[in-house]
């Protein structure tokens, strides 16, 4: 399974980066191959200062070795080895009318002292973080997510949409990071789903990403915007940073397993503001967004 999924994410990285370069039209991805001394490595691709994307990364990694003590305590195991692989991407567009997007699809195995697999699971998802709310964009993104889920189980979309709203939530702010999408984790063998079934589901979601995001970018990338709207985008990016550094499990796992810092922190935007006690004007488009972030919507209905 791990060889199969590694092959998949390598191909998906190529597909996504090629399409994003086509959309940007100016910048190309810089590739950085890296090794992890404890075992494994990855292929980081970063795009910066383009015509559409101010900063973005589409990274794959395959790491293995002894599970660090802190993570053994987290999983409740002793003397375990692990293998983890995945693709993680974040895109921060220049135009504040174009939303930031995040996606991640990953596979994990854990082994006992004899090298036997004692646990394995898939995880991942994709979510949208707009700065200005276009409801038709939200409906499009969630419709693609639901269509992909429904091919495998009609309960997946409502379940993983709710988990996404719950997970990508800045509890200290009382608001969501964005307008959600899908979030699933610890997808294991059950009476209904074998590992091959989970593989089919996760790759379905991965294959749907460009269909979910690209039309939104194409529709918004040439819209005009003001310096005030750019200022708002940078304030909201601060909330994005707060989530990734305070709450995100992927960031925590990478730091606890001696991951590559440049790849882990690739998700952070280049220009961010923290304005003291900033409040959007009553009745403004900015306030409209914040109200939705505080009260997640059912975008399909």
What one-character-per-residue DSSP string does 233-274 give?
HHHHHHHHHHHHHHT-HHHHHHHHTT--HHHHGGGS-SS---
d(CA 241, CA 239): 5
d(CA 5, CA 108): 10
- Catalytically active residues, by annotation: 102
C-alpha distance across the termini of the chain, in Å: 37
Strand partners, 117: 111
Give the CA angle between residues 9, 265, 274 to the nearest 5°.
135
Of 171, 130, 126, 128, which is closest to residue 149 (Cα–Cα)?
Answer: 126
């Amino acid at each position: 399974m791990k060889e199969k999924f590694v092959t998949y994410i390598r191909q998906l990285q190529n597909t996504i980066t090629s399409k994003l370069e086509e959309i940007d039209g100016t910048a190309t991805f810089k590739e950085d191959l890296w090794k992890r001394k404890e075992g494994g490595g990855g292929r980081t691709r970063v795009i910066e200062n383009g015509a559409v994307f101010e900063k973005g990364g589409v990274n794959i990694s395959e790491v293995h070795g002894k599970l660090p003590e802190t993570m053994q305590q987290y999983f409740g195991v002793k003397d375990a080895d692990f293998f983890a692989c995945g693709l993680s991407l974040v895109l921060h567009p220049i135009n504040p009318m174009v939303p930031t997007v995040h996606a991640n699809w990953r596979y994990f195995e854990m082994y006992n002292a004899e090298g036997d697999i004692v646990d394995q699971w898939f995880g991942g998802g994709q979510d949208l973080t707009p700065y200005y709310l276009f409801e038709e964009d939200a409906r499009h993104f969630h419709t693609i997510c639901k269509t992909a889920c429904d091919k495998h189980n009609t309960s997946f979309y409502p379940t993983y949409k709710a988990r996404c709203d719950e997970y990508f939530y800045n509890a200290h702010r009382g608001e969501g990071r964005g307008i959600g999408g899908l979030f699933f984790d610890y997808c294991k063998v059950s009476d209904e789903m074998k590992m091959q079934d989970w593989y089919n589901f996760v790759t379905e979601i991965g294959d749907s990403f460009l269909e979910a995001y690209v039309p939104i970018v194409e529709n918004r990338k040439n819209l005009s915007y003001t310096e005030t709207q750019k200022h708002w985008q940078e304030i909201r990016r601060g909330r994005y940073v707060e989530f990734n550094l305070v709450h995100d499990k992927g960031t925590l796992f990478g730091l606890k397993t001696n991951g590559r810092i440049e790849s882990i922190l690739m998700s952070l935007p280049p220009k961010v503001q923290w304005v003291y006690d900033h409040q959007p004007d009553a009745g403004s488009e900015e306030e409209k967004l914040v109200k939705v972030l505080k009260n997640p919507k059912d975008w399909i209905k």
